[in-house]
């Protein structure tokens, strides 16, 4: 009898019988991990920069975890961190990685899908110098 009631409830489509569904138009939550290497000026700057970006563009819609790879080397190994600071955006998909002190704000914003690139290879308000060609060996 209990089994038939459970099936009936599922067939009736009661809220507890379905997985949660994201509502249309609801802002997505961002899950970010920033891997740093101790308390260095570069690590400190990366933390400050990413917090500023998140507060300005993701207010109330993000979870930022700062992980010191010296304190938690197993986490760094499991995420295959090869340089620090490294920011990993695990949600929303797709997963993205950013390496550096997070000072290239516009590239971070575009990379987090908070703003679209203006055209292929360049970003709105980008003030970066053009990249120099690699020298042959």
DSSP letter for each residue of 38-79: SS-HHHHHHHHHHHHHHHHHSTTSEEEEEEETTT-HHHHHHT
Residue 94 CB neighbour total at 10 angstroms: 8
Q: How far apart are CA 53 and CA 66, in angstroms?
A: 15
Q: How far apart are CA 22 and CA 18, in angstroms?
A: 12
Instruction: Flag whether 45 is in a domain.
Output: yes
Q: How far apart are CA 107 and CA 98, in angstroms?
A: 9
The pLDDT of 112-135, averaged and rounded, is 52
Domain count within the chain: 1
Predicted confidence band of residue 134 (pLDDT cuts 50, 70, 90): very low
- pLDDT score for 26: 66
Instruction: Flag whether 10 is in a domain.
Output: no
- pLDDT score for 103: 96
Instruction: Flag whether 46 is in a domain.
Output: yes
Q: How far apart are CA 118 and CA 31, in angstroms?
A: 26
CATH number, residue 68: 3.40.30.10
Predicted confidence band of residue 24 (pLDDT cuts 50, 70, 90): low
* Contact status, residue 51 vs residue 57, Cβ threshold 8 Å: no
Instruction: Flag whether 131 is in a domain.
Output: no
Boundaries of domain holding 48: 30-111
How do residues 96-111 score in pLDDT, each as one tens digit? Answer: 999 999 999 999 999 9
Instruction: Flag whether 21 is in a domain.
Output: no
Q: What is the mean pLDDT of the chain?
A: 77
Instruction: Flag whether 133 is in a domain.
Output: no
* Contact status, residue 76 vs residue 69, Cβ threshold 8 Å: yes
Instruction: Flag whether 129 is in a domain.
Output: no
Instruction: Flag whether 44 is in a domain.
Output: yes
Q: Is the pLDDT of residue 133 over 70?
A: no
pTM summary value = 0.68
Distance from the Cα of residue 131 to its chain's centroid: 25
Q: Residue 99: which of 113, 85, 88, 78 has the closest Cα?
A: 85
Q: How far apart are CA 98 and CA 90, in angstroms?
A: 12
How do residues 36-51 score in pLDDT, each as one tens digit? Answer: 999 999 999 999 999 9
């Amino acid at each position: 009898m209990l089994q038939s009631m459970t099936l009936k409830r599922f067939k009736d489509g009661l809220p507890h019988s379905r997985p949660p569904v994201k509502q249309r138009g609801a802002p997505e939550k961002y899950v970010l991990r920033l891997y740093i290497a101790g308390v260095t000026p570069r690590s400190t700057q990366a933390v400050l920069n990413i917090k500023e970006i998140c507060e300005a563009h993701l207010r109330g819609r993000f979870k930022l975890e700062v992980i010191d790879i010296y304190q938690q080397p197993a986490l760094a190994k499991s995420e295959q961190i090869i340089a620090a600071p490294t920011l990993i955006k695990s949600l929303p998909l797709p997963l993205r990685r950013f390496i550096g002190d997070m000072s290239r704000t516009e590239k971070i914003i575009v990379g987090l899908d908070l703003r679209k690139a203006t055209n292929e290879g360049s970003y709105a308000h980008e003030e970066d110098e053009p990249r120099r060609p690699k020298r042959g060996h």
